[in-house]
Amino acid sequence: SLPMRAGQKLVGVLDVGSEQPQTFSEQDLQILRPVADYLALIIENSRLEQTQQRYTREQALIYESIVTLGTGLDSSNVLKLMAQKIAEAVEAGACLICQIDEKAGTITALARHIATQPGNPDQVWRTLDTPLPISRDPLAQKLIKSKRR
């Protein structure tokens, strides 16, 4: 096994095996070390590219949010559009925007977007504009509990 390093960062392991013990010579290792380094660069470049793509999606979402808020749409349509943009930005199957009313003890779904893709349901379990007791929503309970810490 050889470490795969990009600079000082360990990004993987190149594991070359054989059924024969002590098969690999020092000459083999001299060949495999630069290969391991090259593979590490490929892995690190791929990770950096994914990070850059995510950053680009996030920046596009922020920009589109600003544009959407300035369109003069009513809040319901803005929230619906934002749910769509958020789902697209993070490549999620669905996005639901809810309002919590701690005083009333309810959570209400205000907007949703469900991506049309194979295996994705056509609806989420919360009904829009229908207050649900927080006691029946484990996620809302968890959020409220973590907020109080």
Residue 123 C-alpha from the chain's centroid: 21
Interatomic CA distance for residues 137 and 57, integer angstroms: 30
pLDDT classification of 33: cutoffs 50, 70, 90 = very high
Between CA 106 and CA 118, with CA 112 as vertex, the angle to 5 degrees is: 130
Q: What is the mean pLDDT of the chain?
A: 85
Average pLDDT (4-9) is 89
Is the pLDDT reported for residue 45 higher than 90? yes
Q: Crossing angle, helix 26-69 and helix 75-89, to 10 degrees?
A: 170
pLDDT classification of 124: cutoffs 50, 70, 90 = low
Is the pLDDT reported for residue 68 higher than 80? no
Give the pLDDT confidence of 75-111 residue by residue, as tens digits: 888 888 888 888 888 888 888 899 988 899 899 999 9
Taking a C-beta distance cutoff of 8 angstroms, is the pair 1, 13 a contact?
Answer: yes
Interatomic CA distance for residues 1 and 20, integer angstroms: 15
Which of 46, 14, 19 has the alpha carbon at shortest distance from 32? 14
